[in-house]
Structure 1
């Protein structure tokens, strides 16, 4: 397997000029909206060619900010950027959201088509996103689900992300505390050579926000995520590559990714592949992952029969899980009410992205595939079910190696539609005495009998 290329972004040079936001009219205290003042400091730093934007301690209320090439946003301890609760403060712009290219509100912090940008320090970026969470839950429960439109509400309820890195390279995000985004926390899309290091994410302090993913790596290359501590209410660290017809059209993979020495305290999974798999996900190494109770799955692969794409050349090792529902989960029919969009007959003038979401995908292109996956040196205790694994008969899960696996679970679980799986030094101890059940599998070797 190709080892992921680990590339460091360029930090601000030690001699770069400092641009104090107070000099441009910014005021701490959480009452004044400072968007224009902070952006003026950013623009001045960019014009200098190598500038650092700095703040005095305090809370700075702001709308969307756009970092420029060659700038360094430094948030020292005691500095907090807090997102203003005003949809108009996040201008709509072209981007990709949940696997589909479309217009969407800007993030609070945007690195949009830039190079050599760093965001560092011991300060905090707070999206103050609960108003968007409440709006989403109300729309979904009262309007969309009763009409069979679960698939549409995530796109119609447009919520700002916390940090967007889009079509950019040489970006460094280090040391900060990130909290309460309206939508995803960190979205790295169509980008290269980005380092996320030592970030703390705390999204559940006020409530459990919908789709408050931790770090989403989307059709990008040469990305490293390390030493992060994540508590969120969806995927903690997730690799994506486009959804359905639009993702197949773009056909851009997520590749050469290194994820190492991270802790996940709450979320859907410790590490997730998908469900947006259309462009393919390959050459990924995950190591040193610690998954704590409050997380549903330790390792999760998910897709749907309209996604397509191949997940391959994946190396996951040195993982510790405690109290998860499923240690290893693979589902290629994930969340059908969300995954399979169908245009209602009585809708006469749907949004353009509804047409994209409901564009048919030929069956031969829609089936996702998984092959060449190695999972080793895994310890899992207090697990509800060791394996929750299933694919389609026409798309079996192929060539998976599991080595040095120790799982203590209530039950062993099921593996369905798998080919050429090998277990080496694997121990699966179950409270109910069950063994792993294999359905429609071929060439499975070394599976523990006790």
Structure 2
């Protein structure tokens, strides 16, 4: 009888959801900024430069970095165009795309990343919220305009060797009380970095087994990421293999992507703690649509790096299939920043851990930096000092989450409907969940929050309990 009841509830929920979709059919509200997202230009050059003519070898064992880079440089010097590959497998270290160049990796071509960290020269960049020196990505677009990386081919980063090093080091670091710094000490190359650039298009590619984050959009404007397939859970589950990270960037369009990774799938960031507050660049004016997340830490995640603020975001027509968290907002009490004006619409989830998670004290062992006994600040690396720098005054480290709207969300199976947890000094404020249905094992909880509204929304928990509400005001369930 219980199973029949759940099936009936599910069918009824789908019918209600369909009606809600019709009522809220305008998935894209009339925001003026929506017309401005994405790359505004694309490389116009049509002349093709084959990497093979510059000495690249279609042999997975032969390093072709210099030949591929020479093709890119020549293409840029001669006014731009398309850099191409004959069908086959190519091995490369870090490549640097130039303005006016479209690096096209066609179907039948696989670009493999070298497993030798020396093939990724160290550059000044930002990693996981702090500025530091870190290995270049496999493909880099740095301080360029009007460039592209496209095609129906594959980029296989061969990241497992870097995963293994990380896990070995983490075990040692955790025993010493250094969990907070291990991610920064084990330097792993990203797959594709766009930094301090504009009018860049990344389209059509399948990216596999990232050593670290897959696509990192940093300090950039007017970027399009379209039709990307990211498959990082090949040969294991790599740590911090995020899908697409949008970091202190603006006017970004992400659409028609399919991500299977072992951390956050679609993620928005803006800096960590004192260093992030120093930089103070928000992520804003972001449109994410028509995309799928599979395994991973969050269908769409805001944080945990929030120092510069995250605002003016619309995400719609998204699916989560087996993702550990659906809609995820996370920060820490030293991070600061305001996350606001977030609009999430037409979301479907199946078999997720938590449907909605909003918290200000995420993963304390990672989020808070304390130097253990036996170490001295005058003899530690510079990036350790950056991580240990305190936010002063402390009140600047308190993050704020507010003005979040969730429309037309259908969750067919979750362990928990919601976990909303603010702080006495910063309650989660003004969250609207409308025209939605969540079927879950438990309803979850709301703590230190205000103005949480559920309109035409039902939470059907298997344990028959309702959402537990504590230390909150103006909450209707």
Say if 2:211 is the partner of 1:182.
Answer: yes
1:136: which partner in 2?
Answer: 166
Alignment of 1:24-423 (within 5 A): 24-141=54-171, 143-293=172-322, 295-348=323-376, 349-361=379-391, 362-423=393-454
C-alpha contact 1:4 1:258 (8 A) present in aligned 2: no
Secondary structure of 1:325's counterpart equals strand
Structure 2 CA distance for aligned equivalents of residues 52 and 366 of structure 1: 46
Secondary structure of 1:211's counterpart equals coil
Structure 2 CA distance for aligned equivalents of residues 22 and 258 of structure 1: 38
Alpha-carbon offset, residue 344 of structure 1? 2.4
Alpha-carbon offset, residue 10 of structure 1? 2.4
C-alpha contact 2:435 2:455 (8 A) present in aligned 1: yes
C-alpha contact 1:409 1:428 (8 A) present in aligned 2: yes
C-alpha contact 1:4 1:284 (8 A) present in aligned 2: no
C-alpha contact 1:306 1:366 (8 A) present in aligned 2: yes
Alpha-carbon offset, residue 292 of structure 1? 0.4
2:16: which partner in 1?
Answer: none
1:18: which partner in 2?
Answer: 48
Say if 2:471 is the partner of 1:440.
Answer: yes
Structure 2 CA distance for aligned equivalents of residues 289 and 354 of structure 1: 38
C-alpha contact 2:420 2:428 (8 A) present in aligned 1: no
C-alpha contact 1:419 1:444 (8 A) present in aligned 2: yes
Alpha-carbon offset, residue 4 of structure 1? 4.5
Structure 1 CA distance for aligned equivalents of residues 454 and 326 of structure 2: 18
Structure having the higher helix fraction is 2
C-alpha contact 1:327 1:385 (8 A) present in aligned 2: yes
Structure 1 CA distance for aligned equivalents of residues 360 and 451 of structure 2: 18
Structure 2 CA distance for aligned equivalents of residues 240 and 210 of structure 1: 18
Alpha-carbon offset, residue 430 of structure 1? 0.9
Structure 1 CA distance for aligned equivalents of residues 351 and 115 of structure 2: 36
C-alpha contact 2:81 2:102 (8 A) present in aligned 1: yes
C-alpha contact 1:234 1:269 (8 A) present in aligned 2: yes
C-alpha contact 1:80 1:126 (8 A) present in aligned 2: yes
C-alpha contact 2:49 2:81 (8 A) present in aligned 1: yes
Structure 2 CA distance for aligned equivalents of residues 120 and 4 of structure 1: 26
C-alpha contact 1:3 1:256 (8 A) present in aligned 2: no
1:430: which partner in 2?
Answer: 461
Secondary structure of 1:266's counterpart equals coil
Alpha-carbon offset, residue 165 of structure 1? 0.3
Deviations 1:351-379 (A, max 9, x none): 00111101111321111001111011000
Structure 2 CA distance for aligned equivalents of residues 304 and 438 of structure 1: 22
Secondary structure of 1:337's counterpart equals helix
RMSD: 1.0
Structure 2 CA distance for aligned equivalents of residues 363 and 296 of structure 1: 32
Structure 2 CA distance for aligned equivalents of residues 287 and 179 of structure 1: 25
Quickly say closer, same or farther: Cα 1:380–1:150, change in 2 above 3 A: same
C-alpha contact 1:3 1:284 (8 A) present in aligned 2: no
C-alpha contact 1:10 1:118 (8 A) present in aligned 2: no
Secondary structure of 2:352's counterpart equals coil
Moved more, 202-211 or 336-345: 336-345
* TM-score, normalised relative to structure 2: 0.92
Unmatched 5+ stretches in structure 1: none
Alpha-carbon offset, residue 61 of structure 1? 0.2
C-alpha contact 2:147 2:201 (8 A) present in aligned 1: yes
* TM-score, normalised relative to structure 1: 0.97
> Aligned residue pairs: how many?
443
